[in-house]
Amino acid sequence: EPEVTQTPSHQVTQMGQEVILRCVPISNHLYFYWYRQILGQKVEFLVSFYNNEISEKSEIFDDQFSVERPDGSNFTLKIRSTKLEDSAMYFCASSHRGRNTEAFFGQGTRLTVV
């Protein structure tokens, strides 16, 4: 069964460093998403991406964050100048179409900023 895969599963980074979280969505999916879950809190929407551009972003997704689909398979989330409060689980998701289909989630990347 096709699945969304994320790498790495766990990343530790120094405060102020840049990190790139990687995702390979399901191959025939057209919509891509990043969500964040701070430990013990609810899952929060960060950004959605369609047709090589951001279709929606939350207030969390400020200039510190960026997304990119550098090739036909990867979808990346870049976090610049990481802060302690960026420590969280980051989930990538994809859906075949945006409106009428559910999103399938990857297993998440645990980001720890020290």
Partner 1 sequence: AQTVTQSQPEMSVQEAETVTLSCTYDTSESNYYLFWYKQPPSRQMILVIRQEAYKQQNATENRFSVNFQKAAKSFSLKISDSQLGDTAMYFCASRHYGGATNKLIFGTGTLLAVQP
Which residue ranges make up the site for partner 1 (CB under 8 A)?
31, 33, 35, 37, 41-45, 48, 55-56, 58, 89, 91, 93, 95, 98-100, 102-108, 110
CB of 16 to partner 1, least distance (A): 26
CA distance 16 to 103: 32
What is the rounded CA–CA span in Å between residue 66 and residue 68? 7
**Token pair for residue 110?**
């645990």
Q: Which is nearer to partner 1, 58 or 74 (CB)?
A: 58
Instruction: Please give the Cα distance from 75 to 110 (Å, whole number).
Output: 17
Minimal distance, residue 37 CB to partner 1, in Å: 8
Query: Which token pair is 6?
Result: 């994320």
Q: Which amino acid is at 95?
A: S
Task: Give me the least distance between CB of 107 and partner 1, in Å please.
Answer: 4
For partner 1, which is the closer residue by CB, 31 or 113?
Answer: 31
